[in-house]
Amino acid sequence: MAQLIEPHGGKGLTCCLLEGAERDAELKKAEGLKKIEISSRVKGDLIMMGIGGFSPITGFMTKEDWKGVCDNFQMADGTFWPVPVTLDISKADADEINAGDEIALYDPEDDEMMATMTVTEKFEMSEADKKYECEKVFMGEGTPTAEEFWKIAEEDHPGVQMVMEQKEVNIAGPVKVLSEGDYPEKYKGVYHRPAESRKLFEDRGWSSVAALQLRNPMHRSHEHLCKIAVDVCDGVYIHSLVGNLKPGDIPAEVRVKCIDALVKGYFVEDNVIQGGYPLDMRYAGPREGLLHAAFRQNYGCSLMIIGRDHAGVGDFYGMFEAQTIFDKIPTPSEPGKALLCKPLKIDWTFYCYKCDGMASLRTCPHSKEDRVLLSGTMLRKSLSEGGELPDHFGRDEVVAILRDYYEGLEEKVEIKTHKAATGN
């Protein structure tokens, strides 16, 4: 019997999703509770708590949790966690809520009641608090001082913008989740709960599983990373974000089609599984790489593929900062509270004309001029502008799907390039 890695936190999968009669009763109760409208990011966090993807987290963080995560990657009880999971509300709403109250969390975009919550604490988030969170969570080696960071962060960093636009008060407390949104139906066969992905791995006899994080269409570099992992693991879980992205990023439905084409045409299908998860990107670079590893552990993955500029945005992070951060995180005193999913660190990969194949900085002795530098940003920029892609940038089947998508767009978003995308 395959022995998969244990879920993060040492408590097994902690799932807050109600079903059947229990859900019906809670929905009815929610109708009489104070209703709080939530953001898309909060909706994704709720679903992950519901299905056990954020195990051991079963509610929104207290101030002590928030501070511990910002300062040293640990919640108040010592459990490793790299980014805050908080719920912001307006001061007007906060004034009507007291500790011990139950409230209903409502998604206005889809007109759906997502959860109920028992409020245990509320704490103000001043401008200084938000800036503190941004500097701790989003500031990287690309902007080594706070002064350099703030010169560009509020205009160019979507994660920073998200935090700075949050409302004035955070509330904490456990949740009961009532819905997974439209993900199970919209991404049928791709969207998995952690218990489902674990069952898929066990049925194949896998124990060593590597996860590939995707928010861009799969190009040749992603394919190469996967194939390296297939050679050293039992299997690879190509796990795409199907929640919200920033303007200009390619929708999940298109990316899922691209992955399907690649898996069917260029992989031994028994060694690869495609999945999707419901979070919005936070664009937290190295910290988000750690988050990706933490929740992939819950999905059953023992390794997290970390390549160049993982979860990066612009030039805020060092090229391999998302790899080196794994060597700097604290080890909690209780083993179950530590991050067990390890990074599979892979150097910058590219197609080399002289090598006549995919290579990396560790294997290829040739010059930059001999290489096709591959990045999701460059792919999006070239296709959105109707440009041609260099040979070997992507598989023909994938490029055809993407061209169809871009030709059908009525409005196009300018795609900015950065050092990690251009190789400069």
What is the tens place of the pLDDT at every residue in 225-272? Answer: 999 999 999 999 999 999 877 677 788 899 999 999 999 999 999 999
Average confidence score pLDDT of the chain = 92
pLDDT band at 136 (very low <50, low <70, confident <90, very high): very high
Averaged pLDDT for residues 67-73: 98
Q: Is the pLDDT of residue 96 over 60?
A: yes
pLDDT in tens, 357-410: 999 999 999 999 999 876 666 776 777 777 777 778 789 999 899 888 888 876
Q: How much of the chain is helix, strand and coil, in % rounded to 5?
A: 40, 20, 45
pLDDT 10s digits, 267-293: 999 999 999 999 998 999 999 999 999
**What is the predicted pLDDT for the residue at 75?**
98
- Pick the residue with more confidence: 77 or 313? 77
At residue 373, the pLDDT reads 79
- The dotted CATH code for 190-422 is 3.40.50.620
pLDDT band at 345 (very low <50, low <70, confident <90, very high): very high
How far apart, in whole angstroms, are the C-alpha atoms of residue 15 and residue 90? 28
State the maximum Cα–Cα separation within the chain, in Å, rounded to a whole number. 69
Residue 376, pLDDT score:
63
Cite the active site residues. 215-216
Q: Burial, 191: exposed, middle or buried (Cβ in 10 Å; 0-12, 13-18, 19+)?
A: buried
In the chain, where the domains are located: 20-125+166-179, 190-422
The pLDDT value given to residue 109:
94
Q: Are 107 and 181 in contact (CB under 8 A)?
A: yes
CATH fold of 20-125+166-179, please? Sulfate adenylyltransferase (3.10.400)
- Sheet with 272-277, strands from edge to edge, namely 272-277, 235-241, 209-214, 303-306, 342-345
> What mean pLDDT is predicted for residues 96-115?
97
CA distance 259 to 274: 8
Question: Residue 210 corresponds to which tokens in the numbers above?
Answer: 């590597």
Q: Are strands 235-241 and 272-277 parallel, antiparallel or unpaired?
A: parallel
Helix axes 285-299, 194-203, angle to 10 degrees: 60
User: Which pTM does this prediction carry?
Assistant: 0.93
| Whether residue 13 has pLDDT greater than 90 | yes
Tell me what pLDDT residue 207 has: 97
Residue 209: both structure tokens together: 């599983």
pLDDT in the model for residue 146: 97
Residues 180-190, mean pLDDT to the nearest whole number: 96
Per-residue pLDDT, 421? 45
Query: With pLDDT > 90 as the criterion, what percentage of the chain qualifies?
Result: 80
Torsion of CA 46, 309, 254, 259, to 10 degrees: -100
